[in-house]
Amino acid sequence: MHSRLKYSPARAIFFISIGTGFMAAADICMKYLAGSHSLPSILWLRNLMILTVIITILRRSGQWSNAWSTISPIQFLRGTCMGVAPLLFYYALTTMPVAETTAIFLLIPVIVAMLAVPVLKESADPRRLVAAALGFTGTLIIVRPGTDAFTPVALVALGAAIIAATYQLLTRLLAGRQSALASLFYPWVIGTVLCSPFAFLQWTPPVSPFEWFMVVLTATLALSGNFCLVSAYEHGDAGLIAPFVYLQLVWAIALAWLFLGDFPDTWSITGMATIVCAGLILVRRSGLARRA
């Protein structure tokens, strides 16, 4: 019998499909809000709302003491990554189109696979090398250095992907030491604290009811996206779920076109497809049937 009592490929695919949609929609909301407010202010408010929800759930579920008792240098470093990566990503998002920024950020699985070689002592098999080469090629196609299409902000998006990949790698090192929800506590605390000085130096809070609604919607979408991601892994294996993570790119293209009028050109679509291929190379075969 499969080790997951809730094992259900259909549910796993459902949760990852709508979860990636929630995350793409949260990015669209952030891009809208950043047009008239300082990015750190909106991020700080979003983080504070999400942190409040996490603390409430931890207290009511009896996991509060466990969340507090596991502080370590690795947790602090994870929290630092959690604070810096969104700042860089959303800064890039305010300048670059949504789809292109999302595509560069989705290099994370490839970066994790390469960093795992020196950090976790995993083998540098050919798949990793091919995936890294394709991911790098896809990024170059999107960024197009040396042409009028190039913007240095693309390097900021790449930096965000590298830092987010570091966060995931550190999470692997801490896997199994506490519940998934408790493991989110310190990163969100530290991420919120790191964002605070930038937020108050450029404090431009929402004013109208609609702007407050957009901030709450952004936090709700981000939290819902993460919840769906966790739920997907509760119902299916990583090998099954991994390919569907790239649905976020599909959602990003569709929502950006629908709400912002942005649609990537042929070069960008080619680069995106190359990056998706790079990630899929790393996916191990996973059947839809229940495993023994």
List, in order, residues 6 or more apart from 30 with CB less than 8 Å away: 39, 42, 43, 46, 90, 93, 218
- 33 neighbors 207 (Cβ within 8 angstroms): no
The whole-angstrom distance between residue 79's C-alpha and the CA centroid of its chain comes to 14
> How many residues would you count in the chain?
292
pTM of the model: 0.84
- 280 neighbors 243 (Cβ within 8 angstroms): yes
Tokens 């902000």 belong to which residue? 153
Question: Would you state the pLDDT for residue 67?
Answer: 66
Residues of the chain falling short of pLDDT 70:
1-6, 66-71, 149, 175-182, 238-239, 284-292
How many C-beta neighbours within 10 Å does residue 194 have?
21
